[in-house]
Amino acid sequence: MKKITALVIQKRNPNRVNLYLDGEYAFGVARIVAAWLRVGAELDEKKIEQLQVEDARERALQQAMLFLSYRARSESEIRKNLLKHEIPESVIELTLERLRQDGLANDNEFAQTWVENRSTFRPRSRRMLAMELRQKGLDDESTKAALAKVDDEPLAYEAANKRAARFKDLEWSEFRKKLSEFLARRGFSYSVIAPVVTRIWNEAHNQEQHNFEEEDIS
């Protein structure tokens, strides 16, 4: 048996407590884990081991919550982050299970949200979206479900329309080259790129012609 001789809140992290046993520093624990500890109490080896396991679980959960506070994550991303912080794999699996139960880890929802956000703010091809999802550890089933309704043509048009203003003063050949290269970097195929670039050009110049006609009338 070992006696708790001191419980000292860490200066750098007030959410953790340094535990001293028999006058010597033993290890740190989360403040919530240390809540039931008292100076003078005695701990056997089994209780000490249990305390360390509880602390590892709490530390893993807090780290996962911090990681998720910036944006949604795939389970693979969460697992890699916890491994980077030296959380034992057995504790990681328990943490992921708890996150699933709380609705904070769901690869199907993550994949769907990722595709929707990309399509809204930075449109790219179905192929590139699939590559991104696989890089984030999504399985084929989740990836296919998220991409089921993705259509490259409207995505390419949306991406090209946002970019075209930069090239509005270029001649057709240079306009086509630069906008086509941009869409190719977004993963679109030539069969999608060619008609979209032509459409964007025609719309811009038809509008210019329409504006000139209005000026002549006035």
The model's confidence at residue 200, banded by pLDDT at 50, 70 and 90, is very high
Distance of CA 175 to the CA centre of its chain: 34
Which helix H or strand E contains 66, and what residues bound it? helix 45-68
Q: How many CB atoms lie within 10 A of CB 96?
A: 18
Q: How many CB atoms lie within 10 A of CB 129?
A: 24
Contacts of 177 (CB under 8 A, 6+ apart): none
What's the pLDDT score for residue 150?
95
Indicate the SS3 state at residue 43: strand
What's the pLDDT score for residue 218?
40
The model's confidence at residue 216, banded by pLDDT at 50, 70 and 90, is very low
Which amino acid is present at 136? K
Question: What backbone torsions phi and psi does residue 41 show, to the nearest 5 degrees?
Answer: -70, 150
For residues 158-185, average pLDDT: 94
Q: Let me know if the fold of 53-105 is the same as that of 106-150.
A: yes
Share above pLDDT 70 across residues of the chain, in percent, rounded to a whole number: 94
Query: Poorest-confidence range of 30-34, 69-73, 129-133?
Result: 30-34
Q: Is the pLDDT of residue 62 over 80?
A: yes
Tokens of 200: 């964007």
What's the pLDDT score for residue 110?
96
Indicate the fold that domain 106-150 takes in CATH. Arc Repressor Mutant, subunit A (1.10.10)
Task: Please state, rounded to an integer, the average pLDDT across all residues of the chain.
Answer: 91
User: What are the sequence ranges of the domains in the chain?
Assistant: 1-43, 53-105, 106-150, 151-218
Q: Which CATH number fits domain 53-105: 1.10.3720.10, 3.40.50.300, 3.40.50.620, 1.10.10.10?
A: 1.10.10.10
Residue closest to 22 by CA, chosen among 36, 43, 52, 37 = 43
The structure's pTM equals 0.76
